[in-house]
Amino acid sequence: MAQTAVVTKEKQRKTSLLQILYKHGTLLAILAVITYFSMTIEQFFTYENFSDILRSISIVTLVAIGITFSLIVDGFDLSVGSTVSLSTIASAAALVLYRQEILVTLLVPILLGIAVGLLNSLLIVKLKLPDLLATLAVMYIINGIQLTYTKGFSIYNDMPLPEGGTAPGKFIPSFLFIGQGEWLGIPFSVLLMLFLVFVSHLFLTYTKPGRLFYMTGENREAARLSGIPVNRYRTYAYVISGLFAAIAGIVLASRIGTGQVSAGAPLLMDGVAAAFIGISVFGIGKPNVIGTMFGSILIGVLLNGLTMMNVPYYAQDIIKGGILVGALALSHIQKK
């Protein structure tokens, strides 16, 4: 009996340790990474560096929130990276090639992002194609569109035009403020990210439509039998995903001051990793925007430190892949 009690206590201790790791592992990892880089890199723990980290995190978080919405309805959106690129090009083209003001410059990429979401939902909800295959196809289509439009060239101030001369417009200060400006010493893009995370969290947690999103993803057939318009909410999820990717593209174009072709491609993997890491934050066990933000923070801090240590970008992908595998494995263990 005594031996059985000891074995039981040991199992309980291991289970408790695993639960602590599952609930707080991401936060502990963030603290550990910050501590390590602060001790090994002289310029890491500075205001300028943390400002750069927060700016990059804001873009990844916006992409990851869109992915989170698709995960909530038991879907997946692979087209977000191409949508970011399309939005970046659209913003730059509106300013530099067509001399538009801020309203049109913001409205055009947002409408394009919504259009991509509608295209995804048409293929997945109406034509019933698998979400991975449908969004993968859309990813290639959108990437081809932005490359065809630009002929593979970036859009920037005073760029030469094929017909001669230079581009008539330029990046205006009000647009550049979105990605480069500060308010009360805090980068504006970070304030925008925090606002959208807060609104999304309130919407998903405390509103009836938000709860219906989760019910749609947890058991689609049961939700349908309960009278929930599941196809409508799946459509909403992909539209929201395209919308957030478009906003991320606007912030990216504003931050770098150019419209770089395929600029959003690297953000797909970062956004996916952040969204899946977020599932395990605080032991929630389901996609949520607060966890997604902490996932973005972990990835952003880690990549910044590795870059300052001159780790090649291709080696960083190995680390990001390892983090994603770990997050998926931890989530699978918790479900079991």
For 179-238, the pLDDT digits (tens) are 999 988 889 999 999 999 999 999 999 999 999 999 999 999 999 999 999 999 999 999
pLDDT at 323 over 80: no
Mean pLDDT confidence for 293-311 = 91
Kindly state whether residue 18 falls inside one of the protein's structural domains.
no
Percent of the chain with pLDDT over 70: 91
* Structural domains in the chain (count): 1
Kindly state whether residue 289 falls inside one of the protein's structural domains.
no
Percent of the chain with pLDDT over 90: 65
Kindly state whether residue 303 falls inside one of the protein's structural domains.
no
- Residue 66 has a pLDDT of 96
pLDDT at 283 over 70: no
Cβ atoms of residues 112 and 246 within 8 Å:
yes
Whole-angstrom CA distances from 217 to 35, 69, 188, 231, 273 are: 38, 10, 33, 11, 20
pLDDT tens digits, one per residue of 114-129: 999 999 999 999 999 9
Kindly state whether residue 4 falls inside one of the protein's structural domains.
no
Mean pLDDT confidence for 61-80 = 96
Mean pLDDT score across all residues of the chain: 89
Mean pLDDT confidence for 28-43 = 89
Kindly state whether residue 327 falls inside one of the protein's structural domains.
no
Whether this prediction's pTM lies above 0.85 is answered by yes
Kindly state whether residue 117 falls inside one of the protein's structural domains.
yes
Domain assignment of residue 80, given as a range: 53-264
